[in-house]
Chain A
Amino acid sequence: MNTAPLIACRDLTKTYIMGEQSLQVLKGVSFEIARGEFVAIMGPSGSGKSTLLNLIGALDTPTSGKLLIDGADIGGMATNDLADLRNRVIGFVFQQFNLLKRTSALENVKLPLLYASGRGGDADTRARKRLEEVGLGERLDHTPAQLSGGQQQRVAMARALVTDPQLILADEPTGALDTETSNEIMKLLTALHRNGLTVVVVTHEPEIAEYAERLMRFRDGLLVEDIRQTPRIAA
């Protein structure tokens, strides 16, 4: 197995230029995330955690510093290569689920495979299998409107998993859910982590962050705390 860190960044900065003003939201951040870790990223709004999430999600490129994702240098990468990297290595889970409306759960889960080069064919089988893994094997034909919030988030997780990524990147995955459903989703993420996946969750809820093994806190564009913790054991 590859022992190099999945994410490695050094002196990472990101500056947004708005007209004549420039705003530095990341002011030099360095850390590594090893393969198989379960990390929670916390911080108040304006702390730079969303920007960091965009960067390690390969949705954006850094202003300076170095960012390696699965060994690939993100800085200066062409947009098509970034798209390919996102498709291959990363599975996104969003607060608002972002499912295609009036489209069945199965079709939603298949979507990333349509954009994957050279691995069509068994898309149906793979999507079906992932939906069964998240406990929705009976609801393949349901559209998002026919599913509860928790079920929709499970569909979104099946979609994130369908390309066999190495990293699950969850942005406030429980932000739109009640406590009980939130715990179910976090248990599911814990299970994925135990199967060897790297999981990064961005949250502002301490209870959610307790599921992770490692907690990174950001404030004013800097990494201010990076601790190992005993995860809240999923029952």
Chain B
Amino acid sequence: MKLGDYLGSALVAIRLNAMRSILTTLGIIIGVASVIVMSAIGSGARQQVEQQISALGTNMLTISPGSSRGGGRRGGAGSAPPLAQADMDTLVDRLPEITAATSSLNVNAALIYGNANWTSQVTGTHAEFPDVRDWAIEDGRYFTPEEANGGAKVIVLGSSVVRQLFGSASPVGEQIRVAGVPFEVIGVMATRGATGGWRDQDDVAFIPISTARSRLAGQNLTVPNQIGTILAKIDERADMLAVETDIIDILRDRRRVGDGAKDNFSVRNVAELVSARRAAQQTLTWLLAATAAISLVVGGIGIMNIMLVSVTERTREIGLRMAIGARRQDILAQFLTESVVLCLIGGAIGLAIGVGATWGITRIADMPILINADIVLIAIAASAFVGVVFGFVPARKAASLNPIDALRYE
């Protein structure tokens, strides 16, 4: 007997009890649909994290004052001495692995344009900042080294700030006020994307670091040429951990941290931050897999139940088939095919519902969602597998019937 014949008789048998068959596959339908939806959400989130990583750059180190290793905030922000421009210059001089570095000084300030106002993080930086962060300028230009060091009152805005203050109009050439000081908008940064959990990377504005020091952060400064954080771009071929250790050694020396005392600054690796997020996502994936497995097992038990009923109902048919020449393996294959087809129908319906629901979620909630071809194939394969596993017992029961008893069955 050929596969086509088995398929044909399976479809006839399923159609004879169409309603019952569909209800039976409900477990499989729900299982497959939930796998599709949840994995679509999961891989959407994962893709977003990957984008964040590449946006931040994995070969970046962030150096900031204050201990990060005690957990929580110890002693407040002012307890550790701030970093100075000289710290950064020393690091760049002594470590050739640092291919680019920039320092920044952050202040929160209200930005005002006409009637619109928006409070954002204003960062004082150098002219190299866009290179170090691999961040393109979308409109206008970034400030020059002369402007950066000369206290020029120019500002480059992140795209979210532009949207808040200017709507869709181009801001380049306009005057805005930052903490009461007038600045000329000279450029707009490229959009990096809003991110769930992470702050909006585009809700920022950049001004020359000298201007930030003299105009905005005046009374808070405690050391000459004070800076907030140092961003260092490390050669991709260099050993990140070794460079990190070197930086720590140099800074401990410069900041006179005694032997055995804790660092009063922190060096953070972007990849470290992201790996924690990845681990959390991995847990989510396992949870999803467990849910899917449970619903498929429950679905499979439903299939086994209905197949056992079907074998009992069709005992005479089985007897007849045996009398006219069906071998045991023909009967086994027939019922296995039937349960696999049943599961695949459930899987296909579940797939359709899952894709539909995913599409609906993308429309309603503004979430990044991604349906993987892998997941679709896995879901289909899993339904077929459930069909084989849970169809086997009923099929073997059918195949092991005695033809005489089966023919006489009432």
Contacts and interface: CB of A to CB of B under 8 A. Distances in A.
Given A54-B404, A59-B403, A103-B12, A86 B328 contact: no
B310 to A, nearest CB: 14
Given A57-B323, A87-B324, A100-B317, A115 B404 contact: no
A114 B407 contact: no
A173 interface: no
B323 A84 contact: no
A78 to B, nearest CB: 10
A59, A88, A163: residue with the most chain B Cβ atoms closer than 10 Å: A59
B302 to A, nearest CB: 24
B261 interface: no
Interface string A101-112: 111000000011
Tell me which of B5, B325, B327, B329 has the highest count of chain A C-beta atoms within 10 A of its own C-beta: B325
A87 B326 CA distance: 8
Interface residues of A, number: 27
Given A79-B328, A83-B326, A111 B12 contact: no
Using C-beta atoms within 8 Å of the partner chain, give the interface range for chain B.
Answer: 20 to 34
B241 interface: no
B169 interface: no
Nearest to A79: B328
B46 interface: no
Interface string A86-124: 111000101010101111000000011011100010000
A83 B317 contact: no
Given A114-B1, A115-B330, A98 B325 contact: no
15 contacts: A57-B323, A59-B407, A79-B328, A80-B328, A83-B325, A86-B323, A86-B324, A86-B325, A92-B323, A92-B324, A96-B316, A114-B2, A114-B5, A115-B327, A120-B2
Given A83-B325, A102-B16, 18 more contacts: A57-B323, A59-B322, A59-B404, A59-B407, A79-B327, A80-B327, A80-B329, A83-B326, A83-B327, A86-B324, A87-B325, A94-B407, A98-B319, A102-B12, A112-B324, A114-B5, A115-B327, A163-B325
